[in-house]
Structure formats: structure tokens, C-alpha cells
Amino acid sequence: MQDPAASLNGETLLASIALPHAALVLDELFNVPPPQLFPEAVVPATVADLAAAAGLDVAAVISRIKVILRMSTGIEIQPQDLLQLLAASELADQPILLDVREPWEYEICQLAGSLLLSDQDFPTLLPKLQQAKHVVAICHHGVRSYSAAMYLRQHGVAGATSLVGGVDLWARTVAQGMARY
């Protein structure tokens, strides 16, 4: 099977690149604002358009996209898969559930055993995360946790994943009695 990233070129349509949370990636890595926030902004259609909007050459944009695609492989975990992972893991091998929401969100609902991440905790926690087999980032709908999982992978946490749909989907599919907001 051919690597889809291998055929990237300036004319490649951005919409054809299978990238989770593409608007987030374009905003965070290329400073292209999401259309829902800036509807008047021109949204780049091709890799060449993205390069022009970001002030980079096409080769640099292609290189970044390839890195992003490699890093995002297997980065999302479905709620049912996390439930199975939690049930199958030995106590010493339990995934680290890392909640990246705001404290007020965490107070409303959280997955049992999850840790609320704070900026102060991160430097101390990072070595433990780097050694963990599984780290699952959790947020409300799965967008902030995707960003967090990408960040963690960039900092040597190979087992970092993001819970698809966040606590909201978890509450709707796995823990129907869980509070929602």
C-alpha cells in the first residue's frame, strides 16, 4: 500500500489529506485561522495556497504535513476501545488518563482515575508520561486532547492518544449516568 503522504505536492488539495482536526492543525502549525472564527478569511485550498498563506515554501509545508501525518497515526482512541483497554490492563499497566480541561470542567465530570493536568504539574509529570505504555488525553469533545496528544508525542510520549469525542462521547456511549455539560 502506497503512503498517501508520498504523493503530496503543491497542487494537493488540503481537503484530500486525511488529517484529524485539520482546522486545528492549520491554525496551530501554520497560523491559518479557522473559518468559523474568521468567515471572511480566504481558506487555502491546496498545499501551495497554504504555503503562501503561511509565508513558507511549498517544500517546507509538505515536510511539516508529512511529520504531522506520521505523528497522528493511531493518535485517537474510541471510547469503547478505551473501556476495553482499562478492563484488560493489569493494575501496574493501566493507561494514564490525562485530563486537559479547565478545573471547572473537571469538577462537573471526569473519568475515574484521571489526572487533571496543570501547567505546574507538567514538567514533573513528563518523565512519567514518557515511560508510560499508554497515555490518554481527555477533554470535552476531543479537540483539545488531540492537540495535547500531538504535543505529548512531540515531547517523547510515544503512547499518547486522544479520546475521540472526549468526556461528552464517553458519557453518551459508555457511562450514560455521567454528568454532562
Mean pLDDT throughout 45-49? 95
pLDDT-based confidence at 1, cuts 50/70/90? very low
Write down the CATH superfamily of domain 76-173.
Rhodanese-like domain (3.40.250.10)
If you average pLDDT over every residue of the chain, what do you get? 90
Determine if the pTM surpasses 0.75: yes
Domain with CATH 3.40.250.10 in the chain: 76-173
| pLDDT of 131 strictly over 60 | yes
Mean pLDDT throughout 113-125? 89
Mean pLDDT throughout 68-95? 89
| pLDDT of 108 strictly over 80 | yes
| 43 Cα distance to chain centroid | 22
pLDDT-based confidence at 110, cuts 50/70/90? very high
Mean pLDDT throughout 110-114? 95
Q: Are 152 and 160 in contact (CB under 8 A)?
A: yes
pLDDT-based confidence at 56, cuts 50/70/90? very high
pLDDT of residue 63: 93
